[in-house]
Structures are given as C-alpha cells and as structure tokens.
Structure 1
Amino acid sequence: MTTSMEWPALWLTLRLAGISALLLLLIGTPLAWWLARTRFRFKSVVEAVVALPLVLPPTVLGFYLLLLLAPDGAVGRLWHSLGGDPLVFSFNGLVIGSVVYSLPFAVQPLQAAFATLSRGCLEAAATLRAAPLDRFLSVAVPLARPGFLTAGVLGFAHTLGEFGVVLMIGGNIPGRTRVISIAVYDQVESLQYRQAHLLSATVLALSFVLLLAVYTINRRYRHGA
C-alpha cells in the first residue's frame, strides 16, 4: 500500500472534521450559552453528561453509539422511518459520532467565554430595547470571539485523531468510512512504518499549526483588548 492511496482517507478525514466542527458550533453555542447563564438546579448533571466523552474510553462510547444508530436502535429506527439510509458504516454515522465525541471540546470553551461576559454590557443593550437575540448576536458573540475560535479549532483538531469511535460506528470502508487514524493503524499493522510515519506526521503538523494559530490569535486578542 502506498501513501498516494491514502489521499481519499485524508480527504475524508478533513471533510468529516470540517462538517463536525460546524455542527459543534451550531449545537454547542446555545447549549454553552444556557449553561453559562442558567440557574437550573441540575445544571451540574447536564455538564457531567456533556463532559462524559472526556473520560469514557472511545470504544465504550462508540459501542453505545453503535447500539443507538443500528437499524434496530432508537436513533437508527427513527432515521430509517424518515427515509434515511442506514447510519452505521456510513459517513452520516461518522458525523454523528464525531459530534458526540467532540462536544465537550466545543461547549466548554464557549461556556467559559460566555461566563466571563459582563452583565452590564447585556443590560445596557437591553435598555436600548435590543431583543434577546439582538443582544446575543451584537454583544455576546463579538465579545466571545476567542471562545468561538477555540471551540471551532479544537472540535476540528479533535476529530482528526478519532479512532475508537469511528472504527466502532463506521468500520474500515475505503472511500466511505476509512479515516486517517484507521489508515495509520493499518499501515503499522502491515509493518509499513514509512507510510505510517508520513501519515502521522501530516496529522501532527496540521494539528500543531491549528493549535498554534489559536494560541497566537487569542493572545493578540487579549493584548489588543
């Protein structure tokens, strides 16, 4: 197996990471906003559920997601009733698994950013008759830009390194579910260390550049503020 044959796996991984990062921001933003501002009695329970992927072994999380997404599982059965294709061993299933697996990496930075916002700014916007949505979009979002950047990049970068979850849900189907982490495992298993090194170095370099960009931009933002 040559490295050139793994371009589909690299492209699939980047596509999965990009879609997952976008969905994480869409889902994580309202959830983080609610967690940062709510006085709900069982808020800690919700936070613990969101943070579960941080401590659960990926194979355990992948196993339960497999049960849910299978044709006879709760989510898989509902999806099939709506006319959707099977979620297991499919790209859509990988997206769902990736979003669940990386959710805390998006929610926690956003929640921290929202929690530091001054209530005075929001109250001042309210006195100007700004609606709640207007206050959120015109005041909260601009002030929380570092949190959005961190959440997006961490969600993207974390998806790049997924292995256990995607293997349990999607298996190893070239062009459909074979992501770069599985390709590296296959190369090592077949003793193709040069190819494994090139693939691993590519992911390592990309992850480092992404994280370096986050730290650099956030540092400049803090100094500028």
Structure 2
Amino acid sequence: MFAGQDLNALLLSLKLAGLTTLILLLLGTPLAWWLARTRWRYKFFLEALVALPLVLPPTVLGFYLLVALGPNGPIGGFMEALGGHSLAFTFAGLVIGSVLYSLPFVIQPLQNAFHAVGARPMEVAATLGAGPVDRFFSVAVPLARPGFLTAAVLGFAHTLGEFGVVLMIGGNIPGRTQVISIAIYDHVEALEYGRAHWISGALLLFSFVLLLLVYGLNRRPPGGGA
C-alpha cells in the first residue's frame, strides 16, 4: 500500500505531472499551431530543438539545468540577486525541468493533429467571415481534439515516470522533491522489493489504463473512413 513517505511522493508526482501538462498545453498549443502552419524554411531547427529531449540523456539535461538554476548559474544567480532563492532542489525547479523534458511529448502530437486538420476547413470558415482567432477555436481545436487528448496523456504519463532529470535538479528531499520514481529506486536500493513491487505495479496499471483511454477514445468507428 501507499503509506507515509510513499504517499507523499505519489501526491507530489501527480501535482508535478498535472502542472507540467497544463503549462505545456498552454504554451505548446500556439507553438505547435505555428509549426504546423508556417512555411519558414528553417523551421526544422526549431523542430529539432523541440525533439532534443527524445534523444538527449536525461542526466545531461538535468545537469545543465542544475548548473543554470543553481546559485552560481545565470538564472539562479539572478533570482538570488532579486532577493529570492535559486531554483535548484525546489519544486519550481522540478517544474522547469519537467516542462523541458516532456516538451516533445506534447508538441509533436499537437503538431500532427493540426497538420491533419488541413487548410480546407480553415479556408471555408474564412469565407463565412470567421476571423483568425475564431477559426482557431471553433474549427482547428475541435478537429484536433484527439491530438489534445494524446498530448495531455503522454505529457502527464511521461512526467509521472521521470527519474534522471528530477533527480539531478531536485535531489531526493522527502516532501519537497522526492517523486515516486525516486521512491521506487530508494526501495530497491534498500532491498525492499515488496514495496517497490507494489508501487511499480500500481504505476504500470495506471499507465496502461491511460493508454487504453487514448486508443479507445481516438478509435475511429467502423466505416468512418481513413
């Protein structure tokens, strides 16, 4: 069962995953829309930058974030100069790291969904007098709903399972930065395999249910076309 420190780690992980997913949907939607619609010849540079966490070792990203957000780094030093504290080993630092590491898991499904919408529905809406903002919210967003669902689930699940980035930037402070993946590692290191099995099994089931939700809701009805 989840109890005590494990429950705190789970709640912190859910809070981190939920907040990260919300931030990524708010910031990632306009970026994904722009990437899907722009004809800028050098957009592949930005696409490669967005996709970088897919191939970059998590500890590398976590290390550079630790340097940047620490007291001697540009961001952490600036925060301390303003009378605050560096963001390393804080929940805010975990959020920043999670947003960057989960970025492609939200941006790419949204970009693909906006690509699938195509130009025709937007052109039809324009001929009916809809402005750019109205066309986006009344046409593009409803048509791209499966992409939003996929992006939200993947972003949430990926953040929930993070280890390398959160360990590097947040450490392992119970109640503050210890997330559930680190709690599992602690149990394994202490040879507490029973508790590790219980938590890992619960997360395995939770992740499978999330994927069932995505595939089930995005499943096309028979005869619905390609």
Task: Report TM bin, short chain.
Answer: over 0.9
Q: Which amino acid aligns with 1:131?
A: G
| 8 A contact 1:102–1:158 mirrored in 2 | yes
User: Structure 1 pair 82/224, CA: closer, same or farther in 2 (3 Å)?
Assistant: farther
Shift of the alpha carbon at 1:207?
0.8
Q: Which amino acid aligns with 1:44?
A: F
Q: With structure 1 as the length reference, what TM-score do the two structures score? A: 0.94
Deviations 1:111-134 (A, max 9, x none): 000011131211111122222111
2:195 equivalent to 1:191: no
Shift of the alpha carbon at 1:38?
0.8
Structure-1 separation of matches of 2:29 and 2:46: 15
Structure-2 separation of matches of 1:82 and 1:129: 49
2:100 equivalent to 1:96: no
Shift of the alpha carbon at 1:221?
6.8
User: Structure 1 pair 212/91, CA: closer, same or farther in 2 (3 Å)?
Assistant: same
> RMSD between aligned alpha carbons?
1.7
2:3 equivalent to 1:4: yes
Shift of the alpha carbon at 1:74?
2.2
Q: Which amino acid aligns with 1:121?
A: P
| 8 A contact 1:35–1:43 mirrored in 2 | yes
Q: With structure 2 as the length reference, what TM-score do the two structures score? A: 0.94
Structure-1 separation of matches of 2:80 and 2:129: 46
Structure 1 equivalent of residue 111 of structure 2: 111
Structure 1 equivalent of residue 144 of structure 2: 144
Structure-1 separation of matches of 2:13 and 2:140: 32
| 8 A contact 1:146–1:221 mirrored in 2 | no
Structure-2 separation of matches of 1:42 and 1:78: 32
Q: Which amino acid aligns with 1:129?
A: G
Structure having the higher helix fraction is 1
SS of 1:116's partner is helix
